[in-house]
Chain A
Amino acid sequence: MILFKDKVTSNLIEKFLEGDKSCFAEILKVISSDVINLAYCYTHNLEDAKDIFQEVSFKIFKYLKFFKKKAKFTTWVYRITVNTCIDFLRKKKKIMAMKEEIIKDENSFCEKLEDKERLRMVKEALSNLPSKAKAVFILRHYQGLKIAEIGKILGCSESSVKTHLTRAIAIIKKNLEER
């Protein structure tokens, strides 16, 4: 799926760089679901995820000229998204305030009590993770990316990714067992 997306987007990028600006909307359409999905894993809020998508779109538009085709386009987009998510959360200081927000946050999509409870659990589990471990866990667990690809996105080695993943799960396990 990712390979297919990369092929599609590489053609669109070439057209866009040649001056066909209409291709930009097509590029955004291709990557929108991935970006929103990843942003939602970070923020647990659809509106925030949409804001992040917009921010990521601006960045892509701005820096697409400088995109080196050595890496995959999706890897590049994931990298931008992860960084934007971290900045977004840092700005809003949501990492610290997340626990308090859980009570107030009445999401319309969580109709079932079970879903609410699960979301609360996930939020709690993820909120205490260190930044890099959180990124690794989200990319591996929710996005289903391979270790090597996560390494490329976060700019670290495979062994480092593995260590972060194990550490993330250990922390989650500990947190949930303490409850």
Chain B
Amino acid sequence: MRHLSLKDLVFLYYGDSDAGVSSKLTQHLRVCKKCLREYQKLKTLLSNLTIKLPPIKEEEIEELIEKVKEKVFEPTFLEKVKYRWDYLTIHLRWRLAPQLLIGTVAVILALVIFPWWRNFNLDRELKILQLEAKLSLEDLSNISPFDFWENTINSDSFLPSTPQNNFGQVHKET
């Protein structure tokens, strides 16, 4: 014959088992002396584990409630802030999630794309400058100093002789 487990005895004591199971357990206890002894031990143990709540006067409870009311209905500034914060975190946490996600993505993109765009622009400008410089160098290599001299002499701006100066005269005397 299988003896009852502690679980069976506990549920029998608290009346948590089904009516059918309960009657079976009771029948078993009638037959099995060992289980009956265990059950009585358990019964004594649990019935001894009582807690006697000290008597509380109604006035004491009233007083407590008054204290709570005082504190609850006149919250301090910090408590108000905390309450608002709790309200926000409880109510808006999931509603704000998409916005926060979009915001975060935007910030990350800004942090990555802006420097990349700036570097790209700088590179492009540098390449243009390099090209221009190369072209000018090529032009310079093709020009001789005499080209410059001829152009300068033939131009009107090369020290023309006027009545106000004596460039022509000096040239003639010499």
Binding site for B on A (CB under 8 A): 21, 24-25, 28-29, 32, 36-37, 40-41, 44, 46, 50, 53-54, 57-58, 61-62, 66, 107-109, 115, 118-119, 121-122, 125, 140-142, 146-147, 162, 165-166, 169-170, 172-173, 176
Whether B7 lies near A141 (C-beta < 8 A) is no
B6, A40: Cβ atoms closer than 8 Å:
no
Number of B positions contacting A (CB below 8 A): 31
How many angstroms from the CA of A50 to the CA of B57 in the assembled complex?
Answer: 12
* A interface footprint on B42-85 (CB within 8 Å = 1, 0 otherwise): 10011011111111100011001101110111000000000100
Cα A36 to Cα B58 in complex, Å, equals: 13
**Are B68 and A36 interface neighbours, CB within 8 A?**
no
Q: Does B132 contact A (CB under 8 A)?
A: no
Chain B residues near A54 (CB-CB < 8 A): 64, 67-68
Number of A-B contacts defined by CB within 8 Å: 83
Decide if B46 touches A40 in the complex (CB within 8 Å).
Answer: no
Cα-based distance from A121 to B44 in the complex (angstroms): 13
Which residues of B are interface residues toward A (Cβ below 8 A)? 6-7, 10-11, 14, 16, 42, 45-46, 48-56, 60-61, 64-65, 67-69, 71-73, 83, 86, 90
Counting from the closest, the 7 A-B pairs by CB-CB distance are: A109-B54, A57-B68, A166-B7, A61-B72, A28-B65, A32-B61, A46-B54
Please give me the residue from chain B that is nearest to A170 by CB atom: B6
Distance to closest chain B CB from A114 (angstroms): 11
B47 to nearest A CB, angstroms?
Answer: 10
Nearest B residue to A44, CB-CB: B51
CA distance A169 to B7 in the complex (A): 9
A58 adjacent to B72 (CB under 8 Å):
yes
CB pair A32–B72 under 8 Å, yes or no, is no
* Contacting pair A36 B56 (CB below 8 A): yes
What are the residues of chain B within 8 A of A169 when measuring CB–CB?
A: 6, 10, 42, 46
Cα of A170 to Cα of B11 in the assembled complex, Å: 13
Residue numbers in B under 8 Å from A118 (CB-CB): 48, 50, 52
Measured between beta carbons, the chain B residues less than 8 angstroms from A147 are 16
In the complex, the chain B residue whose C-beta lies closest to that of A158 is B16
Q: Chain B nearest CB: distance from A115 CB in Å?
A: 6
Report the bound CA distance from A40 to B50 in whole Å. Answer: 12
CB-CB nearest in chain A for B41: A173
